[in-house]
């Protein structure tokens, strides 16, 4: 079992496992800041307004 202190830690782990340099992530905005900034460090990101 894996436990996290908050959503940001879980998002960081999930994004690092799922995304590679050649990927393109589409994220819904507004959101947790990490849901957009973590993928930006890994690949191209497009934000889609809610």
Q: Which long-range contacts (CB under 8 A, 24 or more apart) does 7-11 make?
A: 7/32, 7/34, 8/32, 8/33, 8/34, 11/35, 11/38
Coil, strand, or helix at residue 28?
strand
Helical (H) or strand (E) element with 17: helix 7-18
pTM of the model: 0.76
CA distance 18 to 4: 18
> What sign for the dihedral angle of Cα 20, 25, 31, 33?
positive
* Domain regions of the chain by residue span: 22-50
- Tell me the per-residue pLDDT of 21-49, one tens digit each, with 9 for 90 and over: 999 999 999 988 888 999 999 999 999 99
């Amino acid at each position: 079992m894996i436990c996290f202190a908050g959503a940001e830690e879980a998002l960081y782990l999930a994004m690092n496992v799922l995304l590679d340099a050649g990927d393109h992530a589409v994220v819904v905005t507004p959101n947790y800041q990490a849901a957009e900034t973590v993928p930006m460090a890994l690949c191209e990101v497009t934000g889609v307004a809610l």
